[in-house]
Structure formats: structure tokens, C-alpha cells
Amino acid sequence: MKRRSVYIVIFIVAILGLFFIQYKYLKIGVSLATVQFKKNIDVASKNIKNDLADENQLTFLVGKAITNDDTNFKLSIDSIQDASKYFLKDFISYRLKLNGIDTDFSYRLIAKDSSFSLKSPNQFNTSENLLTFPIQLKGYLPETAGKDTLLELQFKNINSYLLSQLNGLTIPSLLFMLIIIIIFIWFLRSIYWQRQVITTTNSFINNLTHELKTPVFSINLASKMLEKDLDTTKKPLLKIIRQQTERLNKHIDKVLELGKLEFQPKLFNLKKTDFKPNLIEICQNFETLSNLNNITFTYNLEEGSFLIKSEINHLENAISNILDNAQKYSENPIIKLNASKHKNQLLISISDNGVGINKKDKDLIFKKYYRVSNEDVHKVKGYGLGLSYVKEVVKKHKGKVKIDSNVGVGTIVTIFIPLIHEK
Ligand code: ADP
């Protein structure tokens, strides 16, 4: 749960960082585009200036308009001025487009002493944030008017124009970020949902196993009471009942232990212990069992104490589980237990000469309920809980489990538990 929050925080920070970088890039992009825009205006201005310097159809008409001269025309001076306004606008627009500027603009053609002005048909509100580029005209027009003449180009909302030019980049990048966020949220939701399912399944299994305990206990008790009055011919039947209930009981305990580990982690109390005597006891018990069941079992424990922080019962169970597996998955078991100290760690390794585990299954067998799907193996009963229990217990001891295995040769399971420094 905690780790999940950390991931979420990291994700949010990463996304915010990405937004910030994006914003910075955008700013750089806009200022570069501004520089480019001004450069283009510069070139366009020069071209406009040159084109308006000579006498041609346009300058002739504009010249008439600014000097209020309607000779040579059948039109009124107002119509001449109107026509020249549109004519000039089209010409400027054409020149700007040639230089890569395709945005709304207006213009004013004015005398420096304000004695005349020809304004573009569209005019911007002066309260708007306008960008003005004055062009000092030369040649035909100032000469005709007999005055210094300026052509002022005006642009508004230049930033939104520049942004619109960058839209090709910003919109897709925002879109991709949005996709990432949506997928992340979807991912979190499905993890959360999955966790809920797992938790309910686990608590269901735990409740169920608890419920199973009572009938098993009753069967056990009843069979004990039956034993006294039963005639000898039926005793083997009773023995089967007792053996099977005992097995069932063990399975139930296994499930419950694992459940306890997962749901009540605080119950796990590590205490400073010399684990050697416990290990010897496990080995001696298993040796006795081995003698009865045709198993060759040897063990070798390094000299000295094995001082570790341990919850003894769980660690004992874990080792018993590994020994149990070694015997279960071997035909004529030769099992060795070896315990040694190496680099501040206690190493307990259990080897067998059994069927082995292939590479594909090696990581999976630590998962709860996982069993290798192999016809041979399924002759052996189990619920796939043993190794997940081992892993959980060893993890709680701040240790590790390692499996080396060769199919058909055997398996070595090693657990590493940190040793306490002896002073
Ligand atoms: P279970 O033994 O109840 O099936 P475990 O979690 O103890 O569950 O083991 C999971 C699987 O790992 C087993 O089904 C078995 O296929 C494989 N396995 C475990 N130990 C060994 C071993 N020593 N040799 C071969 N296979 C093993």
C-alpha cells in the first residue's frame, strides 16, 4: 500500500515535470518564432518599400488617393480612395504571405506631418495589444505627396498566432500526456480491483479453513472414542480415518499459518536466538522419519552457534516444508542438509536427487497455489502453498531463498538469513 503511494507520487511528479519542461519548450518555441516573425517582417518591409518606390498601377492610384487628385478618373475621389485601400491591402497581404506571414493585419499610410492618411479597410481597436512596424517609404509616393510618408503595418494577438504555428507540436504532446495519464489511472484501478479480489478470496479461504477445523476436531475425537470398543478386524479402517484426518488437519494448519503471516504481520516477532539447537532437532526428527521411509538423509552443521533474529516456529516450519518437498519430489530420496556461515549470513541448504524443476517454473513455484503441471508431479499431493510460505517467512527474517535445480538430477534449495554479530 505504502509502496503504491510512492509510485503514485513519483508518477505525478514526473507528469508535472513533463508539463513544466513542455511549458519551457513552448516559451523557447514562441521566442524563436517571434525572432523568425520579425525577420520575415523585415524582409517583407524591404520588398514592399522597393515595390512602392517606383511608379506603377498601384502607386499611381494610391498617389491620387493621398493627394485627393481625381483628374484622369471618371470616379469620385472617395471611390478612388476606397479602391486604393483594397488594392494596397491585397498587395501587402501578398507580400507578407510570400515571406511566410499569414496572419490578420491592418495598415495606415500616413504623412509624417499627419496631413493625410489612408487606412486599411479593417482597423484594429487601439486598446488591443498591437505590434506596429513602420516603413519609411521612398521614391514615387513621398515625391508625389511632397511629404515624408510612412506605411505602418499593425498586427494583433501575435502570441496566439505564434502558438497556433506551434500547435502541430503542442497538441499532440498534450494528447500523448493525456493518454499516459488515462492509462495510468486505468492501470491503478485494475490493480486496486485485483487486490480487492485477492483479499476477499484470501479471507474467504481463511474463514473456510477455520470452519473446517471444528469438524476435523470432532472426527478426531469421535474416532478416538470409537477405538476402545471396536473389534480388531475393523481397527485398520479406523486407522485410515485417523491418518486422513491428521493429514487434513496439517493442510488446514498450513493454510492458516500462511494467512496469519499475510494478514497479521505484527504477530511476527523476531527474537535473538541461537538457531543451532532447533536445527539439530529438526534434523534428528527428519532422520527418524527417514529411517522409517527408506530415505537417505544426512546433515552437516558448521561449528559454533547460529545467532539470528528469528521467529522460531515459522522458521522451523519453513525448513520442514523444504525437507518435505525434497522427499515428496524424489523417487529414492537422497537428501542432504548443510548449514554454514558465510559473509555474515547463515546458509541452510537442502539438496535432493529428485525430479528437479525447469527454468520456466523456477520463479513461479514461489507463488501461492502454484504447482508444476506435470503428470508425474500430480501424483504427489499438495496445494502449492509450501514454498510461498517459505518465501514469506524468509522475507520476514530479512533473508533470501535460492533454488538451483537440474531436471532429472535434483534440486538444492538454499535459504540465507542474516547473522547477528557476536561481540
Ligand atoms: P506443493 O508441494 O504443495 O505442491 P510447494 O509450494 O511446496 O507446493 O511447491 C510448489 C511446486 O514446486 C511443487 O508443486 C513442485 O512441482 C515444485 N517443487 C518444490 N520443491 C521441489 C523439489 N525439491 N523438487 C522438485 N520440484 C519441487
Instruction: Give per-residue pLDDT as tens, 191-240.
Output: 889 888 888 887 887 788 888 888 888 998 888 888 877 888 888 888 88
The number of distinct structural domains making up the chain is 3
pLDDT at 282: 92
Whether residues 253 and 275 share a domain: the answer is no
Distance in Å, CA 267 to ligand 1 centroid: 27
Whether residues 229 and 147 share a domain: the answer is no
The three cell numbers locating residue 207: 474463514
pLDDT at 212: 85
Is there an atom of ligand 1 within 6 Å of 325 CB? yes
Q: Is residue 145 included in any domain, yes or no?
A: yes
Which domain range does residue 220 map to?
Answer: 180-265
Among 320, 351, 358, 365, say which to mutate for ligand 1: greatest number of ligand atoms within 8 Å of CB. 365
Q: Is residue 175 included in any domain, yes or no?
A: no
Distance in Å, CA 344 to ligand 1 centroid: 29
Whether residues 294 and 250 share a domain: the answer is no
Whether residues 133 and 192 share a domain: the answer is no
Q: Is residue 173 included in any domain, yes or no?
A: no
Could you say which of 265, 284, 304 is where a domain stops?
A: 265
Which pLDDT tens digit goes with each residue over 402-416? 999 999 899 999 999
Q: Is 201 exposed, middle or buried (0-12, 13-18, 19+ CB in 10 A)?
A: exposed
For 52, residues 6+ apart whose C-beta sits below 8 A from its C-beta are 58, 59, 62, 137, 139, 140, 141, 151
Q: Is 421 exposed, middle or buried (0-12, 13-18, 19+ CB in 10 A)?
A: exposed
25-53 mean pLDDT: 83
* Torsion from C-alpha of 24, 27, 31, 36, nearest 10 degrees: 90
Distance in Å, CA 219 to ligand 1 centroid: 30
Check: CB of residue 252 under 8 Å from CB of residue 216: yes
Whether residues 402 and 330 share a domain: the answer is yes
pLDDT score of 189 more than 80: yes
Percent of the chain with pLDDT over 70: 93
Is there an atom of ligand 1 within 6 Å of 333 CB? no
Q: Is the dihedral of CA 385, 388, 391, 396 positive or negative?
A: negative
Whether residues 244 and 306 share a domain: the answer is no
pLDDT at 267: 65
Q: Is residue 172 included in any domain, yes or no?
A: no
Q: Is residue 397 included in any domain, yes or no?
A: yes
Instruction: Tell me which residue has its CA closest to atom 12 in ligand 1.
Output: 365
Whether residues 322 and 259 share a domain: the answer is no
Instruction: Tell me which residue has its CA closest to atom 19 in ligand 1.
Output: 325
Whether residues 344 and 405 share a domain: the answer is yes
Q: Is residue 170 included in any domain, yes or no?
A: no
CATH code, domain with 223: 1.10.287
Check: CB of residue 420 under 8 Å from CB of residue 358: no
342-367 mean pLDDT: 92
pLDDT at 402: 94
Among 320, 371, 403, 414, say which to mutate for ligand 1: greatest number of ligand atoms within 8 Å of CB. 371
The Cα–Cα gap between 221 and 242 comes to 10
Q: Is residue 345 included in any domain, yes or no?
A: yes
The three cell numbers locating residue 336: 542432504
Whether residues 50 and 129 share a domain: the answer is yes
Check: CB of residue 73 under 8 Å from CB of residue 64: yes
Distance in Å, CA 49 to ligand 1 centroid: 90
Higher pLDDT, 20 or 368: 20
Is pTM beyond 0.75? Reply is: no
Among 355, 387, 405, 415, say which to mutate for ligand 1: greatest number of ligand atoms within 8 Å of CB. 387
Which pLDDT tens digit goes with each residue over 123-178? 777 666 777 888 888 888 778 777 778 888 888 767 767 777 676 777 888 888 89
Among 295, 327, 357, say which to mutate for ligand 1: greatest number of ligand atoms within 8 Å of CB. 357
The three cell numbers locating residue 408: 532429472
